[in-house]
Amino acid sequence: MASSNYLLKVEGLKAFYRAGSSRVKAVDDVSIAVKKSEILGIAGESGCGKSTFALAVLRLLKPPGYIEDGEILLNGVDILKLSDKELKKVRWSRMSYIPQSSMNALNPVMRTEEQINDAILTHGRKMPKAELRKRVGELLANVGLAPEVARMYPHELSGGMRQRVIIAMAIALNPELVVADEPTTALDVVVQRGILQMLSEIRWKFGSSIVVITHDMAAQAEIVDRLAIMYAGKIVEAGGVKEVFDEPLHPYTHALISSVPSIKVKKELLGLSGLPPDLRNPPSGCYFHPRCSKSIRNRCEIEEPEFVEIEKDRFVACHLCG
Amino acid sequence: MITLSSGHLLEVNHLTKTFTVGGLFRKRGLIAVDDVSFRISTERPVIFTLAGESGSGKTTTARLILGFLEPTSGEIMYRGKNIWAMSKEEFKSYRKEVQAIFQDPYGVFNPLLKVDGVLKTPIKKFKVANPGKEANDLISQSLEVVGLKPEEVLGKYPHQLSGGERQRIMVARAFLLRPKIIIADEPVSMLDASLRAGVLKLMLSLKENLGISFIYITHDLSTAHYISDKIIIMYLGSIVEMGSADRIVKEPLHPYVQLLTGSIPIPDPKYRWKERLELPKTELSTQLKSESCKFYDRCPERMDKCIKERPRLVDVGGDYWVACHLHR
* A7: confidence class by pLDDT, cuts 50, 70, 90: very high
Contacts 24+ apart (CB under 8 A), A16-19: A16/A65, A16/A66, A16/A68, A17/A52, A17/A64, A17/A65, A17/A66, A18/A63, A18/A64, A18/A66, A19/A64, A19/A280
B271 CB contacts (<8 Å, ≥6 apart)? A264
In this model, does residue A244 exceed pLDDT 90? yes
Angstrom CA distances, A185 to A99, A216, B124, B268, stand at 11, 8, 40, 19
A303 domain-assigned: no
Is the same domain home to A112 and A83? no
What pLDDT score does A246 carry? Answer: 96
H, E, C per residue of chain A: CCCCCEEEEEEEEEEEEEECCEEEEEEEEEEEEEECCCEEEEECCCCCCHHHHHHHHCCCCCCCEEEEEEEEEECCEEHHHCCHHHHHHHECCCEEEECCCHHHCCCCCCCHHHHHHHHHHHHCCCCCHHHHHHHHHHHHHHCCCCHHHHHCCHHHCCHHHHHHHHHHHHCCCCCCEEEEECCCCCCCHHHHHHHHHHHHHHHHHHCCEEEEECCCHHHHHHHCCEEEEEECCEEEEEEEHHHHHHCCCCHHHHHHHCCCCCCCCCCCCCCCCCCCCCCCCCCCCCCCHHHCCCCCCCCCCCCCCCCEEEECCEEECCCCCC
Chain B residue with Cα closest to A276: B162
Cβ <8 Å between B277 and A270: no
Domain boundary among A237, A266, A295: A266
Query: What phi, psi does B231 have (nearest 5°)?
Result: -130, 140
Cβ <8 Å between B201 and A269: yes
In this model, does residue A293 exceed pLDDT 60? yes
Is the same domain home to A128 and A87? no
- Coil/strand/helix, residue B209: helix
- Domain of residue A201, CATH code: 3.40.50.300
* B6: confidence class by pLDDT, cuts 50, 70, 90: low
A46 vs B192, B268, B270: nearest CB: B192
C-alpha closest to that of A169 among A158, A178, A156, A159: A178
A256 vs B162, B194, B281: nearest CB: B194
Query: Quick check: B23 and B190 in contact, CB under 8 A?
Result: no
B283 φ/ψ sector (left φ>0, alpha ψ -120 to 50, else beta)? beta
What pLDDT score does A214 carry? Answer: 95
A194 vs B192, B219, B277: nearest CB: B277
Contacts of A194 in chain B (CB under 8 A): 277-279
**Model's pTM, two decimal places?**
0.91
What gap in Å lies between CA B113 and CA B118, rounded to an integer? Answer: 7
Cβ <8 Å between A262 and B249: no
Is the same domain home to A168 and A202? no
Query: Quick check: B175 and B96 in contact, CB under 8 A?
Result: no
C-alpha closest to that of B93 among B166, B161, B180: B180
* A274: confidence class by pLDDT, cuts 50, 70, 90: confident
A221 vs B54, B261, B268: nearest CB: B268
- Name the domain count of chain A: 2
Return the number of other C-beta atoms located less than 10 Å from residue A125's C-beta: 9
Beta bridge partners of B185: B217
Is the same domain home to A133 and A199? no
Cβ <8 Å between B193 and A260: yes
| Cα radius of gyration (chain A) | 20
CA angle, residues A222, A224, A227, in degrees to nearest 5: 115
What pLDDT score does A60 carry? Answer: 92
In this model, does residue B16 exceed pLDDT 80? yes
C-alpha closest to that of A137 among A125, A121, A124, A148: A148
Is the same domain home to A60 and A73? yes
Is the same domain home to A42 and A88? yes
Q: Is the dihedral of CA B121, B122, B126, B131 positive or negative?
A: negative
What pLDDT score does A105 carry? Answer: 84
Chain A residue with Cα closest to B201: A269
B263 vs A164, A192, A223: nearest CB: A192
Mean pLDDT of chain B: 90
Chain A residue with Cα closest to B260: A190
Cβ <8 Å between A255 and B194: yes
Q: Which domains does chain B have, with CATH numbers?
A: 8-271+280-322 (3.40.50.300)
CB distance from B221 to chain A under 8 Å?
A: yes
Is the same domain home to A209 and A165? no
Helices vs strands, H then E, count in chain B: 11, 12
- Coil/strand/helix, residue B320: coil
What gap in Å lies between CA A143 and CA B169, rounded to an integer? Answer: 44
Domain boundary among A266, A283, A312: A266
In this model, does residue B5 exceed pLDDT 60? no
Is the same domain home to A65 and A12? yes
- Coil/strand/helix, residue B16: strand
More confident residue, B149 or A72: A72
* B244: confidence class by pLDDT, cuts 50, 70, 90: very high
Q: Give A267 to chain B, closest Cα distance, Å.
A: 9
Q: Are strands B213-218 and B47-51 parallel, antiparallel or unpaired?
A: parallel
More confident residue, A118 or A242: A242
What pLDDT score does B4 carry? Answer: 42
CB distance from B208 to chain A under 8 Å?
A: no
Mean pLDDT, rounded, for A50-67: 94
H, E, C per residue of B36-81: EEEEEECCCCCEEEEECCCCCCHHHHHHHHCCCCCCCEEEEEECCE
What gap in Å lies between CA A175 and CA A207, rounded to an integer? Answer: 9
**Identity of the amino acid at B308:** K
A234 domain-assigned: yes
A57 domain-assigned: yes
What gap in Å lies between CA A55 and CA A40, rounded to an integer? Answer: 16
> pLDDT digits over B98-127, tens only?
999 988 766 667 788 889 998 999 999 999
Cβ <8 Å between B273 and A222: yes
More confident residue, A64 or B7: A64
A292 domain-assigned: no
> How many beta-carbon pairs below 8 A join chains A and B?
134
What pLDDT score does A2 carry? Answer: 45
B196 vs A219, A223, A259: nearest CB: A259
Angstrom CA distances, A306 to A2, A97, A254, B78, stand at 28, 31, 19, 60
Cβ <8 Å between B263 and A256: no
Is the same domain home to A67 and A179? yes
A309 domain-assigned: no
* A249: confidence class by pLDDT, cuts 50, 70, 90: very high
A30 domain-assigned: yes
In this model, does residue A213 exceed pLDDT 90? yes
* B219: confidence class by pLDDT, cuts 50, 70, 90: very high
What gap in Å lies between CA B105 and CA B186, rounded to an integer? Answer: 10
Residue of B168, B275, B277, B285 to mutate for A, most A C-beta atoms under 10 A: B277
CB distance from B245 to chain A under 8 Å?
A: no
* A20: confidence class by pLDDT, cuts 50, 70, 90: confident
Q: Give B249 to chain A, closest Cα distance, Å.
A: 7
CB distance from B188 to chain A under 8 Å?
A: no
Q: Which of A27-41, A206-220, A276-290, B213-227 has the lowest mean pLDDT?
A: A276-290
CB distance from B190 to chain A under 8 Å?
A: no
Domain boundary among A174, A198, A218: A174
B217 φ/ψ sector (left φ>0, alpha ψ -120 to 50, else beta)? beta
Query: Quick check: B40 and B8 in contact, CB under 8 A?
Result: yes
Mean pLDDT, rounded, for A175-192: 91
What gap in Å lies between CA B121 and CA B104, rounded to an integer? Answer: 19
Chain A residue with Cα closest to B199: A271
- Write down the H helix ranges in chain B: 58-65, 88-97, 115-126, 133-145, 150-153, 163-175, 193-210, 221-227, 245-250, 255-262, 304-308
Q: Give B251 to chain A, closest Cα distance, Å.
A: 12
What pLDDT score does A291 carry? Answer: 92
What pLDDT score does A1 carry? Answer: 43
A256 domain-assigned: yes
Is the same domain home to A137 and A189? no
Chain B residue with Cα closest to A160: B279
Is the same domain home to A73 and A203? yes
> pLDDT digits over A97-126, tens only?
998 766 678 999 999 999 999 888 887 778
* B47: confidence class by pLDDT, cuts 50, 70, 90: very high
Residue of B47, B221, B282 to mutate for A, most A C-beta atoms under 10 A: B282
Residues of chain A above pLDDT 90, percent: 76
- Coil/strand/helix, residue B233: strand
Is the same domain home to A14 and A152? no
A111 domain-assigned: yes
CB distance from B194 to chain A under 8 Å?
A: yes
C-alpha closest to that of A227 among A52, A213, A288: A213
Range of the domain at A179: 6-94+175-266
What pLDDT score does A103 carry? Answer: 65
More confident residue, A4 or B131: B131
- Coil/strand/helix, residue B296: helix
What pLDDT score does A231 carry? Answer: 96
